[in-house]
Structure 1
Amino acid sequence: MRSSVGTTAPQQSTAALLAVGVPRGGRKVPGFLTTLDRAFKGEISRVLASGDFTGKPDQTAVFYPAKGPKRVLLVGLGESDSLDGNAVRKAAALAARRALDLGAGSLAFFLASEAASKIDPEETGRVVIVEEGHKTGGVAGEIWAQITEKAFGYLDAPLARVAAEDTPM
């Protein structure tokens, strides 16, 4: 199996399967997934509202969006208070198994910054900051500065920052 790290907006992923880590919660879309839910025409909302998927560990749900990746796999991360690197590794491994089961030739794994921020930087070795707006005036610059200042020595690769293309003013 070959793996690589890349950066793109999740809804623009060309992977055959986009896995999205979702912490346990109610039947409403968590705030950090609202943009993604809009891009997928409310599919995430429908799955959560049905009660078939709640975000428990080892729980998955698949849907097929009209645009973007061929399939989207919601993967349960468990309680957000107890989220750590081990929970994310388990979710990623489950996503990889489901990708094989579904015959997906490629897999992308999306973990929102709200969830990723709960993981100890010493456990990750790599940081990708994704901002839905433009780089100019966004909070990602401050996040970048804080990580560079406090955790640079723990990183195995340079920080990556992905955002919409800046528009000259």
Structure 2
Amino acid sequence: MSEVNIDAALVREGGAELSRTDEKLVEMSNGCICCTLREDLLLEVNRLAKEGRFDQLVIESTGISEPLPVAETFTFAGDDGQSLSTVARLDTMVTVVDAFNFLRDYDSADSIRSRGESLGEGDERSVVDLLIEQIEFCDVLVLNKVDLIDDGQQEKLMAILRSA
């Protein structure tokens, strides 16, 4: 699991501007995308869709977010009764698996909270439960850092991913 908003820092270092008004890359830093930011996500996707300048939009949520609530955002109606499904279609859910850390995380009994991450007071999820949920829900699974594990670890990882 990576740190929240680490990608925003990397984008800034590359010279891009993050802004709610002038640029098209929007940093939503006031909470988890699947909880407190649902309304913000609705507003931003609606705004971008109405401009009609983009064919596709990639939404990257934090490593601790559950995919189902993010997907449900596309059917969630805002205060005005509108839902994203009128202006956008959810096409693909992608999960990136860090092959180097996955087996350690999968064998862990840690909670999200014990790792210094959580979605709030009542978040008692285990790291393993989150990993499995992210893998089971995705349409596309991308394996990252495979070059850092040996053949035995690759076989174990693939067996876990195929069974999920």
TM-score, structure 2 normalization: 0.41
- Greater relative contact order, per chain length (Cα 8 Å cut-off, separation 6+): 1
Larger helix proportion, structure 1 or 2? 2
Greater radius of gyration (CA): 2
Larger strand proportion, structure 1 or 2? 1
